[in-house]
Structure 1
Amino acid sequence: MYFRFLPLFLIFLLSVSCASDKQTKLIQDENGHRLVVDGENFVINGMNWDYFPIETNYDYSLWNESDEIIQKALDYEMQLLQKMGVNSIRVYTGIPPKWITYIYENYEIYTLLNHSFGRYGLSINDKWIAKINYADPKTQEILLDEVKEMAETYKQTPGLLIYLLGNENNYGLFWHGAETEDLPSQAELDTEIIENQARPMYRLMNKASNLIKSVDEQTLTSICNGDLMYLDVIAEECTDIDIFGINIYRGISFDDTFERVKKEYGKPLIFTEFGADAYNALLQQEDEVAQAYYFIHNWKEIYTNVYNLGKAENMLGGYSFQWSDGWWKHGQTYNLDVQDTTASWTNGGYYLDYKANQNNMNEEWFGIMTKQPPNENNLFELRPRLAYHKLKEMHQLNPFQETIGVQQINQKAKTLLRDIEVEIEEIKDQIKK
C-alpha cells in the first residue's frame, strides 16, 4: 500500500516562500553536551536510510525517478519511520534539497547529509582513482570544490540537520575496495601511514568543515570515522568540526567509547552507524531475535550517556544501521536477485554466532526491514523485523524528560529484553548442539 497526501506542486508552492528558520545549535556546560533544535533539547533517534529495489545496486538512484514515484516511495517509507520514532535519517548527497524539505515538513524527520569525501574513489584528470591520496594537491582541490558545491546547493534547506564528511575513510586507507573487510591489525597502523595518509586526510576534513561553515553557517558539521582509530590524530587535526561521528560495531556494548571521546577529544558524539545483522552464520538461518537483542543493548547505552544523566554526557544520539536489507552489498555487481548468506567479515562482539577463525557478519542482512520484489515502477513493500518493534518502544524514551534517568532507561531495556530472553537461550542451545 502506498500513501499520497497533498499534491506535490501544492506542497512546494506553500513552502517556497518560507525561509529556513531552523535554529540548530550545540550547547556545552557543566552537565555535558546537548543538541538544541528550534529551542528544544533534541536526541537523535536516527536511521541509515536508502532506497535500492531488489535487482539493483549502487548504480540505481531513486532521485532519477519521476516526482510521482519518488513521492510514493517516500510517503510509504517515511510514514513507517515516523511511527517508529525516527527523527533523522542519514542520506548521501544526490538527494535534491526539495526532498529533504518534503521529508521534514511532512514527517518531521531531519536529514544528516553525507558527502563520501573520496571514500569510494575520485575522478582525477579524467582517470578514475579508486584509492586516493589525500596529500595530493589535485585531490585536495577536487574534494574541496565538491564540498563547497554541496554547501552552496543545500544551504538554508529546511530539514537539513548536519553535514557529514566521509564514511570510514580511515579504513579506506587499508581496504582494497568498497566492500567491508576485517579491520587492520595494530602492526599496520605504523607511523608512515599516520603521517603520510591519515594526518593529511583529517587535516583536509577540517579544512572542508571550515569551508562548509563559510558558505552555510546555520548547519553543523561532522566527520564519519571508523570506530576510534586515529583518535589522537583526529584530536590534533579536526579542531573545527562540530560533532565527532563514528561507525561502530562492537556487539552488545560500546565499552569505553563515550569516556575515551570525552577525555581524548572533547567533542560531542554521534554514532553514524551501529547495529547487527539478522542472520546467524552458525545456524545458517535468519535470526531477527538476536538482531533486536543487540539493538536494545546499544540504544540503552546511547540514551544513558546523553546530557545531564551523570555518565559521559557527550552523546547526541545515533543512526541505526540500517533501514532495509541491501541485496547487492556482498557481490555488489552480481547475484542482485539473491539475498546472499555469505559472511564477509568477523566480529567477536556478536557472540551469538561467533566462532574463532570464521566470518559471522552478513552484509546483506542488516535491515530492520525485509523488502519484497519491486513492481514495474521500482516501488516495493517492506516487512518489519522484530528490531523495528523493539526500537519503536525504545524511541518512546526521551532522556531529556525530567522523569527519565539512567534507572528508567535501564528498566525499559530490561523489560524489552525479558520479552525475548527465552528465544535467546534457545539460540544458544541450538548452537551448542
Structure 2
Amino acid sequence: MQKNTCPLAIILASLVLSSVASGVVYYTYCETKFSAEIIEKTVVTVDGRRLLVNGSPFTVKGVCYSPTPPGEGPDFFWWHAQEIYENDFENIRSMGANTIRTYNAGVTYFNDAYYWVYHDDGIPLDSYLWTWQGGGGSFTETYEITPPEGTKSFKTVSANWAGWGIFLANPSAHTINLSGATALKFWVKTTANLKVEIEAPQGNTQTKYISNYGWDGTNNWQEITIPASHWSNLNQVYCPFKITMETSGTFYIDKVRWTGFSPYSDGGIPGGVKILTWGDGYFEARYTGFGPGNVPEGGRCFLTQPSGSYAGWGLFLALPHDHTVDLSGASALKFWVKTPVNLKIEIEAPKGNIQSYYISQFGWDGTNNWQEITIPAENWENLDKVYSPFMITVETNQTFYVDFVRWENFVPPPQHAILENRDILDAAWSQRLYVIMGYWVDRSVDMSKSWVRENLKEGFLKLVNKWKDHPAVLMWAFGNEVDVYPARKENWFSLVQAVAFAAKQVDNNHPVMTVNQDITRIGDPSIGSADENLTSLDIWGVNVYYGSSFGNLFSNYKVKSSKPLLLAEWGCDALDARDNTENQLMQKLYIENLWDEISENLSAENENRVCIGGTVFEWSDEWWKAGNYEIHDNLATWANPNYYDYVAGQNNMNEEWWGIMKLTSLESPVKIPRLAYYALKEKWT
C-alpha cells in the first residue's frame, strides 16, 4: 500500500489529539496518508461458550501468520518487514478474514549453551560417537517418544550393560578447553541409575552417577545438572560426555551441553540472536575449509572475505523483537581469531551505545595464526543490558576467521523479547484485523522449577501490560502445543493457571488462551487440565489435523470443557505426496469442508454450540522448514493417515506447502492466492 507524506495539518492534529484523555490515540493507515483518530480499547469477553467483542457475539475467521519469504529462515525479521505485512493484511482483509494468529509477539529465552555435545543438530564435527555393550545392545536416534529438545533423542537398549560417548578424535585425538563452562547438563529418561563420565585429559576418566544429581528413580524425562566444579582438568577435555547403564534396560538421552553463554560456536547461536554483516564481501558462518581438528572448536568457524575496504559481522538480540541480555556476571569475553591484520572488537550496551577495542590491545601478536583473545569484563560498561554481545570488523580488504566466541564463567538469566514497535498492530487495525497475541514457550525447559515459572510469567505480563490498550488485540495465547511433553503436563497446566490469573490482575478486557495439540489432554483433573483446575483460563485453542472432517471433535470436546473452543490450526497442504505434484483442488475441498463443519458448531449462532471460529494453517508457504531456505522442497516429514495422499509406511505431510498463498520464486517472491484462498473468501464475505 502506498503512503504519501502527511500534510502538516495532520501532523499538528496528531500532536493535539495525543493530549486527549478520553481515549487512546492510534495512528491508522488509509490509501494515501496516515491519519490519527481516538479509539477506545477493544473489550473482549467470554459469555458461556461465546466470544463477545464490545458486547456483540464474534466469530474468529482468521489465518495463522508467519510470512517468511524464500531464502529466509525461522529467524526472519517479519515484524520489521512493513511492506510485507501491510500488503498481506490488505489481502487478508479482502478475503473476509477478521483475525490473524501470531506465535511470538513475546518469548522468553533460556540461553545456557556454552558447548553442545549432543542435540538435534548432531554432535561436534571434530568428534566421533562410540558405543560399548556386553551381551547385546542397540543404539539409535529415535522419534518414538517426545523429547525435551527438538524431535529426536538417543535411545540405548542394554542386555547386560551398554553405553556411548562423544570423543574428540576426528581426524585425530585432541582436546577442548571447557574451563569457562558452569555445568554439564543433559536430559535423561531411564529405568536405572546411570554412570556419567568425562575424559580429561585423554586416559583420565572421571565418574559420577545421576542419582547423586537429582534423578528421582522414575522413568520420566529429567534434567541432570553436574556443576563444573565437580570435574577436574576442564582445560583439556578429550571426552565431554560418556553415559553407561550397568544393568539391562532402556534409556534415552537428549540435549547434552556444557552450560554458559556462547554467542557463536559449532552449536550455532543462541535463541533470539540474529547475525548481521556489513561492508562488501563474502561471509560464511559455518565455514569448514580447515577441516575437523584444524580449528579451535569443532569443525567450523566464521569466514569473512572482504571485497572492499572493510567488512564485519556481529550478533544482535533482535528476534523476534529487540531485547537485551544481562552479562554482568561474566568474567571475560573470549574468542579465537586467525587474521593477518588488526581487528576491531565491539559490543553494543545498551542499544545505540557502541564500545570498541582492537585485538592488538589484548594479546594478538600480529601473526596469521589461530590465537585466543581475552577481554576482561571490567573493560566493558553496561553489561547488564547488552544488545550486541559481539561485533568484529576488518578495516582493510584482508580475510579473517573467528571461532568459539563466548562470555566466560556464567549463565545469563532468561531474556524477555516482546513486541515493542506498534506499527504492526496499527497496520492490522487499519484493516480492522484483530490479532491473537501469542507468547512462545520453550517446551524444553523444566517447568517444575520456580525460577523458570516466574520468568515465563514475567515475560508474558510484560507483553500484556505493553499492549492491553491497543484496539487490535483480540486475546492472549500462552504457549503452543506444550502439552505434548508427557513428563511436564502437571507443571505446565498449573503454570497456565498461574499465568492466566496474573494476567487478569492487569487486564480484564481480553481473554487468555493456551493452545493444545488436539483435545486429548483437556479436561483431565489428574494433570490439572479440568475446568476446575483452570478457573482463570478463558479459551482452549487446539491444533487439529483430522483430514477432510473434524469427525466427533466438537461433541467430544463438549463433555470435556465448558470453555469456548478455537480451532487454532487446521487445514491441508497443497502437495500430493504420492507424486509430488501441487494439488490445489484437494486443498480447497478439504478446507471448504472443514470450515463448513466449523460453521455448524459456532457459538455466535447458537450459544449451546462450542466453537468460536478458527485460524486456518496457514497464510503463506514457508520454504525453510525442510532445511534449504532457497528451495521449495517437496520433502514429506511426517505421516498422517487422515489425508488423501497417505500411503502406508510413507510420510505425506509437506511442511512447506500449507499456505493458502503460494510463493512464486526466490528471486521474485510474489504471493499468489491458491484455490483455497478464494474458497474461504466466498464463505467469509
Alignment TM class, shorter chain as reference: 0.7 to 0.9
| 1:50 to 2:66 alignment | yes
Indicate the residue corresponding to 1:205 in structure 2. Answer: 496
Aligned residues: 345
- 8 Å Cα contact 1:325/1:371 also seen in 2: yes
Pairing of 1:348-363 with structure 2 (within 5 A): 348-350=641-643, 352-363=644-655
Question: Do the aligned residues in 1 keep the contact of 2:51 with 2:604 (CA within 8 Å)?
Answer: no
Measure the CA separation in 1 of the matches of 2:654 and 2:607.
Answer: 33
- Of residues 87, 96, 99, the one that matches 1:85 is 96
Per mean C-alpha deviation after superposition, the further-off stretch among 223-232 and 37-46 is: 37-46
**Structure (1 or 2) with the larger CA radius of gyration:** 2
Q: Is the Cα contact below 8 Å between 1:97 and 1:157 reproduced in 2?
A: no
Establish whether residue 314 from structure 1 lines up as the match of residue 617 from structure 2: no
Identity of aligned residues (%): 29
Change in CA separation of 1:215 and 1:19 when aligned onto 2, cut-off 3 Å: farther
How many Å apart are 1:83 and its aligned residue? 0.9
Rounded to whole Å, the distance in 2 between the matches of 1:89 and 1:132 is 28
CA distance in 1, matches of 2:56, 2:620: 30
Change (3 A) 1:301 1:147: same
| Residue 338 (1) aligns with residue 631 (2) | yes
Tell me which of 112, 136, 148 is aligned to 2:449: 136
Name the TM-score, length of structure 2 as normaliser.
0.48
Give me the whole-angstrom Cα distance separating, in 2, the residues matched to 1:116 and 1:263.
Answer: 29
Q: Is the 8 A contact 1:100 1:159 kept in 2?
A: no
Tell me whether 1:162 sits opposite 2:475 in the alignment. Answer: yes
Which string of whole-angstrom CA distances, capped at 9 and with x for unpartnered residues, describes residues 107-133 of structure 1? 0100001001223xxxxxxxxxxx211
| Structure 2: segments with no counterpart, 5+ residues | 18-24, 27-36, 106-320, 322-418
Q: Distance in 1 between matches of 2:534 and 2:632?
A: 39
Query: What is the distance in 2 between the residues matched to 1:5 and 1:75?
Result: 11
Q: 5 Å matches for 1:264-413?
A: 264-307=560-603, 313-331=609-627, 335-350=628-643, 352-373=644-665, 380-396=669-685
The structure-2 alpha-carbon separation of the partners of 1:200 and 1:283, relative to structure 1 and needing over 3 Å to count, comes to same
Answering whether residue 425 of structure 2 is matched by residue 101 of structure 1, we say: yes
Find out whether 1:220 has 2:220 as its counterpart.
Answer: no
Equivalent residue, structure 2, for 1:34: 50
Distance 2:671 2:429 in 1: 23
SS at match of 2:559: helix
Kindly provide the CA deviation profile for residues 48-80 of structure 1, in whole angstroms up to 9, marking residues without a partner as x.
012211111111112345xxxx1x223311111
Aligned residue identity for 1:347: N
Instruction: Give the conservation status (yes or no) of the 8 Å contact 1:259–1:312.
Output: no
Letter in 2 for 1:164: A
Partners of 1:100 and 1:158 within 8 A in 2: no
Helix, strand or coil: the match of 1:218? coil
Aligned to 1:4: 2
| Partner SS, residue 38 of structure 2 | coil
Paired letter, 2:676: A
The answer to whether structure 1 residue 23 and structure 2 residue 43 are counterparts is: yes
Q: Give the Å deviation of 1:317.
A: 0.4
SS of the aligned residue for 2:648 comes to coil
Partners of 1:64 and 1:159 lie apart in 2 by 18
Residue 101 of structure 1 aligns to a residue whose secondary structure is: helix
Q: 1:100 to 1:39 in 2, by over 3 A?
A: farther
More strand by share: 2
When residues 389 and 8 of structure 1 are mapped into structure 2, their CA distance, relative to the original with a 3 A threshold, is: farther
Higher helix share: 1
2:383 aligned with 1:59, yes or no? no
- Give the AA of the match of 1:381: V
Counterpart residue identity of residue 637, structure 2: S
Residue deviations 1:310-355, cap 9 Å, x none? Answer: 6961110000000000000122xxx1101111111111111x2011
Shift of 1:6: 5.9
Q: Which amino acid aligns with 2:53?
A: V
1:114-163 alpha-carbon deviations (Å, 9 max, x no partner): 001223xxxxxxxxxxx211112221121111111111221211210010
Q: 1:264 to 1:6 in 2, by over 3 A?
A: farther
Q: Unaligned 5+ residue runs, structure 1?
A: 120-130, 174-192, 397-433
Letter of the 1:389 counterpart: Y
**Range that drifts further, 231-240 or 381-390:** 231-240
TM-score by length of 1: 0.75
SS at match of 2:615: strand
